[in-house]
């Protein structure tokens, strides 16, 4: 019996010694781990990635990002890990650890390091964990937000330690959100969980909603469940409110496009009484001018738009003056002939563009300062191109008002629009005013084409999509009244966007048209009718 006990103790000593020897065995060096990763199978890669994170720390960020994005490669002969960097027509490979270019390595000499969705998830977590210590506050904040869906005790400890030294208020709020989510789930005290849920009610993030929905479905603690239900109600109310703001913004954006398209028509229609069916083609010319300017300035896309705006005004304005001098001046007082003549001109301009540029749509590249969006919260983001066009439309409107009220041309235009015969008897050259007015209206339509080129493809039929809407805006606002055009454009744009989710795009346009018809039956002169002699 004594001998058996001694044998057993000796065996246990051997087992413990072996286990101690295994645990105390040093880990492979970093270079060896990277070589192993280069040849590892998908089943072995997660363990190697974890060891690389433990041994390499923050220095592993480029390697992890490249592996997640599929740009991490292994050199076939040496099994060194390299990262592919796009250099235009050719690829440049750099060392995964040092970032230095690797000479004499081409795409034929490397093999991609395999990665699957499970590995990508692990890499994303490790990347976010490293980025929490980034010097850039925005990177730190995004890193915290990316961790919300997969919080664990290790990450919570990392966040608590980083929270102590954090100086950015935005990053602190993100960390507090993560810590509140952890408290709402894992705290042993119901009061703490309820307080944490009340804090979560101020967030619109999807991870918070998912968490609250899980707590709502758990009846084990009624107090916590009730708090989750109340928090979800508050979040939904804010979500609906932000959704309305988003719809309003898109309505104002559409209204700004309608304003740019209709404001030039309001001038020519109000002063000359001409129904210009070629107005849409002036917008088309402005859009194609933008396209040509970008072709001429391929390396200066950000600056090309500032060149395209005056160029489009000149091209469309000169075309408008030419049309007025060659056709419109001979058709005064004959609205039906004017309509038919301008309709024929519009067809001719469309065919000319098809001949020069082909019938295919052309894409105009947006400048970098108009690309992307401003995210206010997960439920509300404002696209920069639409925001810029909204501001641009208002600037054009106020500049036009300034021209009409503070210049001699504006004075003459107003005189002719009020009483053409009296203005002529006072020595105003009405023919010249007509030509300048038609050119001004056409030039503004060309500027509208520049704006449209940033929202849609440029094609021969670009203007046809807006000519009917432009006439509706002018008639609804009051013929020749610029303030009426402004109000009508934004009213119709907002109404369209609020109706679309309920009725669909086509039915929304029909309902707006029916409303305008009924409104004109009640007020034939529009929202802001002309007064005095102009009303005659």
**pLDDT digits 0-9 by tens, 57-84:** 888 888 888 898 889 999 888 888 999 8
pLDDT, average across residues 250-272: 85
pLDDT of residue 421: 77
With CA atoms as reference, report the closest residue to 111 among 89, 88, 85, 79. Answer: 79
pLDDT of residue 308: 93
pLDDT of residue 175: 92
pLDDT, average across residues 175-204: 90
Where would I find the beta strands (DSSP E) of 44-169? 72-75, 81-87, 90-95, 110-112
CA distance 203 to 403: 48
Is residue 89's pLDDT more than 80?
A: no
Condensed to tens digits (0 to 9), the pLDDT of residues 99-110 reads 888 888 888 888
pLDDT, average across residues 175-197: 91
Fold of domain 241-370+384-535: ABC transporter involved in vitamin B12 uptake, BtuC (1.10.3470)
CA distance 35 to 51: 13
pLDDT of residue 534: 47
pLDDT of residue 16: 43
pLDDT of residue 19: 41
Is residue 165's pLDDT more than 90?
A: no
Condensed to tens digits (0 to 9), the pLDDT of residues 110-123 reads 889 999 988 888 88
pLDDT, average across residues 497-501: 89
What percentage of the chain carries pLDDT values higher than 90? 26
How many contiguous H segments (helices) and E segments (strands) does the chain have? 21, 6
Domain map of the chain by residue range? 25-119, 148-220, 241-370+384-535
Return the structure tokens found at 482.
């610029």
Return the structure tokens found at 461.
């039929």
- Name residue 272's beta-bridge partners: none
Is residue 513's pLDDT more than 60?
A: yes
Is residue 289's pLDDT more than 90?
A: yes
pLDDT of residue 213: 92
CA distance 197 to 212: 8
Condensed to tens digits (0 to 9), the pLDDT of residues 5-60 reads 434 433 433 334 444 444 444 456 788 888 888 888 888 889 988 888 888 888 88
Where would I find the beta strands (DSSP E) of 206-297? none
Q: String of b and e for 469-495 (b: at least 16 CB within 10 Å)?
A: bbbbbbbbbbbbbbebbbbbbbbbbbb
Count CB atoms within 10 A of the CB of residue 236.
Answer: 11
Condensed to tens digits (0 to 9), the pLDDT of residues 235-259 reads 999 999 998 999 999 999 989 989 9
Condensed to tens digits (0 to 9), the pLDDT of residues 367-386 reads 888 888 888 888 888 889 88
pLDDT of residue 471: 85
Return the structure tokens found at 437.
């007015």
What percentage of the chain carries pLDDT values higher than 70? 92
Does the pTM exceed 0.85?
no
pLDDT, average across residues 217-221: 85
363, 457 Cβ separation under 8 angstroms? yes
- Name residue 72's beta-bridge partners: 83
CA distance 415 to 63: 72
Return the structure tokens found at 176.
């507090």
DSSP tag of 75: E
Mean pLDDT taken over the chain: 84
């Amino acid at each position: 019996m004594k001998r058996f006990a001694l044998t057993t103790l000796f065996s246990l000593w051997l087992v413990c010694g072996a286990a101690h020897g295994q645990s105390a065995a040093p880990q492979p060096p970093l270079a060896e781990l990277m070589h192993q990763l280069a040849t590892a199978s998908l089943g072995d890669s997660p363990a190697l990635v974890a060891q690389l994170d433990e041994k390499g720390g923050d220095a592993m960020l480029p390697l992890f990002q490249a592996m997640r994005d599929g740009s991490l490669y292994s050199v076939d002969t040496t099994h060194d890990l390299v990262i592919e960097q796009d250099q235009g027509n050719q690829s440049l490979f750099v060392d995964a650890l040092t970032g230095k270019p690797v000479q004499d390595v081409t795409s034929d000499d490397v093999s991609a390091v395999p990665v699957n969705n499970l590995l990508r998830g692990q890499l994303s977590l490790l990347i976010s964990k490293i980025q929490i210590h980034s010097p850039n506050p925005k990177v730190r904040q995004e890193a915290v937000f990316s961790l919300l869906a997969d919080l664990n005790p290790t990450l919570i400890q990392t966040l608590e330690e980083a929270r102590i030294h954090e100086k950015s208020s935005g990053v602190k709020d993100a960390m507090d959100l993560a810590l509140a989510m952890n408290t709402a789930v894992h705290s042993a005290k119901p009061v703490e969980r309820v307080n944490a849920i009340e804090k979560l009610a101020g967030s619109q993030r999807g991870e918070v909603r998912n968490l609250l929905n899980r707590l709502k479905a758990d009846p084990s603690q009624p107090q916590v469940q009730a708090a989750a239900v109340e928090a979800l109600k508050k979040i939904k109310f804010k979500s609906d409110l932000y959704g309305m703001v988003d719809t309003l913004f898109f309505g104002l954006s559409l209204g700004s496009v309608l304003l740019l398209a209709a404001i030039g028509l309001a001038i020519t229609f109000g002063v000359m009484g001409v129904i210009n069916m070629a107005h849409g083609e002036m917008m088309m010319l402005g859009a194609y001018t933008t396209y040509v300017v970008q072709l001429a300035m391929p390396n200066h896309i950000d600056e090309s738009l500032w060149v395209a705006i005056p160029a489009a005004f000149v091209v469309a304005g000169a075309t408008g003056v030419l049309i007025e001098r060659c056709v419109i001046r001979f058709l005064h007082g004959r609205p039906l002939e004017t309509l038919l003549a301008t309709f024929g001109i519009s067809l001719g301009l469309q065919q000319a563009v098809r001949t020069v540029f082909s019938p295919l749509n052309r894409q105009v590249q947006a400048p970098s300062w108009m690309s992307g969006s401003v995210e206010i919260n997960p439920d509300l983001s404002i696209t920069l191109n639409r925001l810029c066009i909204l501001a641009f439309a208002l600037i054009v409107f106020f500049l036009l008002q300034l021209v009409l009220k503070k210049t001699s041309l504006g004075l003459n235009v107003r005189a002719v629009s009020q009483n053409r015969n009296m203005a002529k008897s006072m020595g105003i050259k009405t023919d010249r005013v007509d030509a300048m007015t038609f050119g001004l209206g056409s030039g503004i339509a060309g500027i509208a084409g520049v704006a449209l080129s940033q929202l849609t493809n440029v094609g021969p039929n670009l203007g046809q999509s807006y000519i009917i809407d432009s006439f509706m805006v002018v008639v609804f606002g009051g013929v020749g009244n610029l303030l009426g055009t402004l109000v009508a454009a934004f009213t119709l744009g907002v109404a369209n966007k609020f109706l679309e989710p309920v009725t669909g795009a086509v039915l929304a346009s029909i309902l707006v048209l029916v409303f305008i018809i009924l409104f004109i039956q009640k007020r034939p002169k529009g929202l802001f009718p002309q007064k005095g002699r102009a009303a005659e």
